[in-house]
Amino acid sequence: MRLEPIEADYLVVGAGAAGLAFADQLLNETDATIALVDRRHRVGGHWNDVYPFVRLHQPSANYGVNSRPLGSGHKDSFGFNAGLDELASGAEVVSYFETVMQQQMLPTGRVQFVPMSEYRPTGEVVSLVSGAARPVKAGKIVDATIHSPSIPATRTPTYNVAPGMICAPINDLPKLARAGHRIVIIGAGKTGMDACLWLLANGASPDTITWIVPRDSWMFNRANFQAGQDRLIDVARFIADEVECIEQASSIDDVFDRLEARGAVLRLDPTIKPTMHHCATVTEGELAVLRSIRNIVRLGRVVAIEAHQIVLEKGAIPTDCDTVHIDCSASAIVGAAARPVFAGNQICLQNLRLCQPVFSAALIAHVEATRTDDAEKNAICVPVPMPSDPVGWLHMMAEELPCRLRWGAIEDIVAFMASSRLDSVAPRMANLRPTDTAELAELDRYSRNIEPAMAKLKVLLSQ
């Protein structure tokens, strides 16, 4: 069955955070019409399938779409995040995005949302409910799916699970965590950490938890990424330390040793060298609690859960049918190969800054709204690779630092960043006064070291 075509200036494939941040900015800077298509039944993307106790890993203040604040701007007064900016729950994020669609986008009359529908490479949009195909008549197609994260709830684990063994995604942890059951947490990314923290916060004894840690991770300290003007000093010191440590380092390991000595990165066990870097963010309080878990298994990835043992890449540990195995092994970060953001009538939303999908999508929309030449647009919007490990993080910095310099020399980009709530630094820098000497000193240290750091990165990455 074929239906009426979907007609719009822009067809955005994917109504997750990236697609919505792009559409929001474009709506506010142009009079374009936009159709958003998604396989899911409502906007918000993967946030619709997150585990019940998930929270943003960064302050709500800098997440969402540019035109609408998320959260109420308060600081948490209890829990692991006490004293720091609020972190929206998954339910709040979904509700926020729904409000953006219902109260801001649809009332413009320029937006249509097409749920439960898949965009196919043939250029059609097919309803997953009826199977009906609708042709598309769009000026441009925007791919907002490339960094869609892999999450435990919507994928099957890569390891085999023997019949009768309890193994479930992290979403089921509140239903399965019961006294008397040993719990095995599989995975040591942010999702695995959240599972451990949730158990410990709810009174589980650390000794009932076995944590399978295939790779240790470098993590950021959330205290350095607070949104208030009074906390600009922390992030200014952090970015100055980043470039100074790179500039002074004699090897890749030395970069991380220096960053750790300054509190810019953290790790679970100071005696183990991390081989993962996925932009995970923790507080020092969370880290202290995670360190109370003593049954940490570092034998590589799980290969199979059998009736009496868990087989891992480098060994096996005993288990049994009363033990609850919680899958946290999906890699939330998807590192698709970079391609040009602008290519004729195709736009591919990618990160232009370290793990900042919503800021990046909004900036791409601003560039689309203000320029016509693809070469000029692509010179501003250079995708940075998603890091997987410490070397990947340095590759990402090698791409990002020159971008920061280029953006700083383009008047409207500077103005965009200074007025964007999704930029966690620029608006506060624009508010600095001559009396803010500590912040200005850190920003001066950052500016002095950025070009030497770019040169040093070339040397380190060629080693």
Ligand X SMILES: Cc1cc2nc3c(=O)[nH]c(=O)nc-3n(C[C@H](O)[C@H](O)[C@H](O)COP(=O)(O)OP(=O)(O)OC[C@H]3O[C@@H](n4cnc5c(N)ncnc54)[C@H](O)[C@@H]3O)c2cc1C
> What residues line the site for ligand X (CB under 6 A)?
13-14, 16-19, 37-40, 45-46, 50, 54, 56-58, 63, 118-119, 144-145, 147-149, 151, 191, 332, 356-358
Minimum distance from CB of 63 to ligand X (Å)?
A: 5
Between the alpha carbon of residue 10 and those of residues 37, 226, 395, 451, 458, the distances in Å are 11, 35, 32, 38, 39
Q: How far apart are CA 77 and CA 226, in angstroms?
A: 15
Instruction: Report the residue number, 59 or 214, with the smaller CB distance to ligand X.
Output: 59
CB of 459 to ligand X, least distance (A): 31
Minimum CB–partner distance for residue 347 and ligand X (Å):
14
Both tokens of 112, joined, read 């249509």
Cα separations in angstroms, 444 against 16, 239, 246? 37, 11, 16
Residue 145 vs 319, nearer CB to ligand X = 145
Q: Least distance from C-beta 101 to ligand X, angstroms?
A: 13
Q: How far is CA 296 from CA 47, 206, 326, in A?
A: 29, 11, 15
Longest dimension (CA), the chain: 68
Cα(452)–Cα(449) distance, integer angstroms: 5
- On whether the CB atoms of residues 140 and 64 are closer than 8 A, the answer is no
H-run or E-run covering 374: helix 374-380
What is the nearest approach in angstroms of ligand X to the Cβ of residue 208?
24
Task: Determine the Cα–Cα distance for residues 262 and 9; give it in Å rounded to an integer.
Answer: 49
Q: Are 143 and 14 in contact (CB under 8 A)?
A: yes
Please say which residue, 232 or 362, places its beta carbon nearer to ligand X: 362
Give the torsion through C-alpha atoms of 244, 245, 249, 251, to 10 deg: -140
- 187 conformational bin, left if phi > 0, alpha if psi -120 to 50, beta if neither: left
To ligand X, the closest distance from the beta carbon of 73 in angstroms equals 16
**Nearest distance in Å: CB 369, ligand X:** 19
Q: Name the residue nearer to ligand X (CB basis): 40 or 215.
A: 40
* Closer residue to ligand X in complex, CB, 148/226: 148
Please tell me what DSSP assigns to residue 143.
E
Residue 118 or 389: the one with the smaller Cβ distance to ligand X is 118
Contact 8, 138 (CB under 8 A): yes
Pairing of strands 183-186, 111-114: unpaired
| Nearer residue to ligand X within complex by CB, 165 or 225 | 225
Residue closer to ligand X by CB (options 6, 232) is: 6
Considering the complex, what minimum distance in angstroms separates the CB of residue 20 from ligand X?
7
**Dihedral sign, Cα of residue 231, residue 234, residue 235, residue 236:** positive
Would you say 193 or 460 has its CB closer to ligand X? 193
- Shortest gap between Cβ of 79 and ligand X (angstroms)? 16
